[in-house]
Structure 1
Amino acid sequence: MKVQDFYFDLPEELIAQEPLPERDMSRLMVLHKSDGRVEHKIFRDIIEYLDEGDCLVLNNSRVIPARLYGIKEDTGANMEFVLLKRIDKDKWETLVKPGKKAKIGSRFVFGEGELKCTVLDSTEAGGRIIEFEYQGVFEQILDKLGQMPLPPYIKKRLEDKERYQTVYSKIEGSAAAPTAGLHFTKELLQKIEEKGVKIAYITLHVGLGTFRPVKVQNIEEHQMHAEFYMIDEENAEIINSAKRNGKRIISVGTTSCRTLETAANEDGYVRPGSGWTDIFIYPGYRFKILDNLITNFHLPESTLIMLVSALAGREKIINAYRIAVEERYRFFSFGDAMFITD
């Protein structure tokens, strides 16, 4: 398949620049993958589509304030670092702007000198491996100096950092939010549990590769970025129990979907454990465990629209997106939601 098969025309004004005042009041498009039928709802109506015994799978990764602004120690040149992946305690893989100023051995200072780093190496993707120096607790220093690494299409400054976190975020490590979960409130999750829906928590630390464009014409040649995931025994059993009982496995977000499909065996049961996944899901993929998906509206020609097309069918997705544009849905990270169901 060609990358242009996943193109749709999106007016720039439909790209949401800030979250709504109430998380669960975003709009919800319900897409029935059996016949392509579309319904228009409010997100809190999602409970109407969940049945007792279903398993809702949430990614509890928490975004770190991964964007740091500093200066080059010898020249005072302004620099931007985005932390991508922790290699060990104080070593990180990063994106750096401007990269030409970040030669191996260069040193940089952040804040009033509370944090410093040295460039150790470069990566094949053009990033840098750096090592930090500091006194005290790194996470506290990062929380003070760092900013949320909002996607490049969001130009507006985010006043409340917690609005780029899910209400159930717990394990720090993501460079971008698992945005399908941003629509849930604690009250809505409680109502869902009271209905008898099982909730399982897994972890996938989202990398900025999520926003990396597909640069090859033939999508089968695209290489996905690797992301770290974890599923413990307790939550694996919640998922597997629902599967054994013939209930639906419903993923909240493409990150949860990719984690489930990586960890599932050919019989459709999840193996607990941790590791790195670079799974690329596009039309033709046979899902091993996932039944339904709650997700946002994604970028044209992105790996994410390819994933949802694998679940619902490319033509049904492109048609649903055309309707979303006509109906003025809000797109991308702070936008509205879609539920792909049977």
Structure 2
Amino acid sequence: MTDRTADYDFDLPQESIAQSPARPRDSARLLDVAEAGLIDRTMREFPDLLRPGDLLVANDTAVIRAQLHALRGEAKIGVTLDRILPDGSWHALIRNARRLRVGDRLTFPGARAEDVADVLELEDGGGATLRFSAEGDAFDAFLQAAGALALPPYIHRPAGPTSEDERDYTTIFSAHKGAVAAPTAGLHFTPDLLQRIDAAGIERRTLTLHVGAGTFLPVRAETLTGHKMHAERGVVTAETADAINAARARGGRVVAVGTTTLRLLESAVDEQGVVRPFDGETSIFITPGFTFRAVDMLLTNFHLPRSTLFMLVSAFAGTARMRGAYAHAVREGYRFYSYGDACLLRREDNQ
């Protein structure tokens, strides 16, 4: 185990970064990081790698149009919504935050005149707490009129997100609005793939983790212990918790679709390995040396160098194993990041 951020760096050619998803979605490539070695597959083979009694858990969050252009008088202010807070206000990341003061009121081009936001709190580093005048369905309509998808910066859209992005950046599991970024492992699933999973006797459940704007922030600290993880809001229902515990009791494997699903499950599990219902925020930071108690297998995309997610997969499957898998993926032309291909990992102590 190493605490140096630089030890989680690797070279990635620019051409490896996917700018659009595979079509159809389940034609994406799948690197099976198996005990016997690395096996090149496609997502259509994914159901064949599961077995009756396993439980597949996916994140059913839905992406909102979180990117907003605001005005304070004549001053232009960039707003990226991060997460809703318990009192209904929003934590946001602000560009041109130096132009704001607590008590300022923001207006939004493209929205109704009555759709405004008040600045409740400002933080060092560009964070802010905002209270919007619109709530519920009116807030959804406001975002539809004034907002845009906050696509990751490595997806190049000089003119902004397209109508195709609106469809491509939505998973088949989407049900509960609140995420800034898509849980991208879920982008590979199609109705046909889910039907095959069901027919194979694999149970399915969902949970909700609203992915925040902090997911795009790099690790700037020189050490992992020096990095402060962003908080995200999540819900594990009693029904999902019971299904997971039953699967483990019968010898089935818990298969997490994406790092967001894994992070929430590992936030909800107790020291005895029992998953409890969960409704709150988690800022869990998973690094090598972490003891996994809830998840046995992980389906995930390929992540950024020096990112908390590459640290997570290194903790889950082993740092040396993941370095070898990523080097293979680069050599073999796998597509990286949100619109890229997938890999299937097994927990290192389950190899």
Q: Same fold (TM over 0.5)?
A: yes
Q: Which residue, out of 3, 6, 9, partners 2:8?
A: 6
Partner of 1:25: 27
Partner of 1:255: 260
In 2, Cα distance between equivalents of 1:208 and 1:263: 22
Question: For residue 71 of structure 1, what is the amino acid of its counterpart?
Answer: L
Correspondence 1:98 to 2:96: yes
Percent identity over the alignment? 41
2:148 aligns to what SS in structure 1?
coil
Offset at residue 45 of structure 1 (A) = 1.0
Offset at residue 23 of structure 1 (A) = 1.0
Query: 1:144-203: CA deviations, max 9, x gaps?
Result: 221111111111233231211111110111111111111011221121011100111111
Question: For residue 210 of structure 1, what is the amino acid of its counterpart?
Answer: T
Correspondence 1:277 to 2:282: yes
Partner of 1:86: 84
Offset at residue 220 of structure 1 (A) = 2.6
In 2, Cα distance between equivalents of 1:227 and 1:120: 20
Equivalent residues in 2 for 1:1-342, closer than 5 Å: 1=2, 2-32=4-34, 34=35, 37-72=37-72, 74-75=73-74, 77-87=75-85, 91-114=89-112, 115-134=115-134, 137-156=138-157, 157-160=161-164, 161-341=166-346, 342=351
In 1, Cα distance between equivalents of 2:314 and 2:172: 28
Q: Are the equivalent residues in 1 in contact too, given 2:16–2:334 (CA < 8 A)?
A: yes
2:77 aligns to what SS in structure 1?
strand
Q: Are the equivalent residues in 2 in contact too, given 1:281–1:310 (CA < 8 A)?
A: yes
Judged with a 3 Å threshold, the aligned counterparts in structure 2 of structure 1 residues 186 and 125 are, in CA distance, closer, same or farther, namely: farther
Q: Are the equivalent residues in 2 in contact too, given 1:242–1:248 (CA < 8 A)?
A: yes
Query: 1:231-256: CA deviations, max 9, x gaps?
Result: 11111111111100011111110111
Q: How many residues align?
A: 338
Query: 1:35-54: CA deviations, max 9, x gaps?
Result: 5x101111111011010110
Offset at residue 31 of structure 1 (A) = 0.3
1:188 aligns to what SS in structure 2?
helix
Offset at residue 113 of structure 1 (A) = 4.6
Which runs of at least 4 in structure 1 moved beyond 3 Å after TM superposition? Answer: none
In 2, Cα distance between equivalents of 1:230 and 1:23: 27
1:94 aligns to what SS in structure 2?
strand
Output the TM-score relative to the length of structure 1. 0.94
Q: Are the equivalent residues in 1 in contact too, given 2:110–2:146 (CA < 8 A)?
A: no
Q: Are the equivalent residues in 2 in contact too, given 1:96–1:102 (CA < 8 A)?
A: no
In 2, Cα distance between equivalents of 1:58 and 1:234: 14
Offset at residue 125 of structure 1 (A) = 4.0
In 2, Cα distance between equivalents of 1:138 and 1:236: 31
2:163 aligns to what SS in structure 1?
coil
2:133 aligns to what SS in structure 1?
strand
Offset at residue 227 of structure 1 (A) = 1.1
Unpaired stretches in structure 1, ≥5 consecutive residues: none
Query: 1:291-333: CA deviations, max 9, x gaps?
Result: 1100000000111011101111101101110111111111000
Question: For residue 7 of structure 1, what is the amino acid of its counterpart?
Answer: D
Offset at residue 78 of structure 1 (A) = 2.8
Output the TM-score relative to the length of structure 2. 0.92
Question: For residue 267 of structure 2, what is the amino acid of its counterpart?
Answer: T
